[in-house]
Amino acid sequence: MTTKQLAGISVDVDSEGFLTDHKIWNRDLAAAIAKEEGIDPLTERHLEVIEFMRKEYEEKGSAPSIRRLNKLNIVPTKELYSLFPGGPAKKAAKIAGLGKPQGCI
């Protein structure tokens, strides 16, 4: 575990930079993580996906897959890839303050 500064506070992250405690997440942390991931600015459309992922995590104990996001008409797959390029499930989960999704490399 490593400690780093994000949005003016010290946070613990794992070896890949995922927050180790999803409960400390807030929109300022999300914006700071997004910026590190090359997503700036973080738009309302990004936040719609991120907040849905957090809700699913709270209800089910795991972040939803790309397939589930698409199936529930949260965001079409093509748009998801444009919002979170280079691995949408992994990037969106990281920005949402969640752990690395199962099945992600």
Q: Where are the domains of the chain?
A: 2-95
Whole-angstrom distance, CA of residue 24 vs CA of residue 49? 18
Dist CA 13 CA 21 (whole Å): 8
As a whole number of angstroms, the distance between CA 17 and CA 87 comes to 15
Q: What is the pTM of this model?
A: 0.91
Structure confidence at residue 105 (pLDDT): 47
Q: Predicted confidence band at 103 (pLDDT cuts at 50, 70, 90)? A: low
In percent, the amount of the chain with pLDDT more than 90 equals 72
Instruction: Point out the catalytic residue in the list 7, 13, 74, 104.
Output: 104
CA distance 9 to 28: 10
pLDDT classification of 97: cutoffs 50, 70, 90: very high
Give the separation between CA 83 and CA 48, rounded to whole angstroms: 11
User: Residue 83: which of 32, 34, 26 has the closest Cα?
Assistant: 34
d(CA 70, CA 47): 16
Place of tokens 């914006």: 31
Mean pLDDT of 9-19: 95
pLDDT, one tens digit per residue, over 53-94 is 999 999 998 888 888 888 887 888 899 999 999 889 899 999
Bridge-partner residues for 10, per DSSP? 5
Residue 104 annotated in active site: yes
Q: Is the pLDDT of residue 102 over 90?
A: no
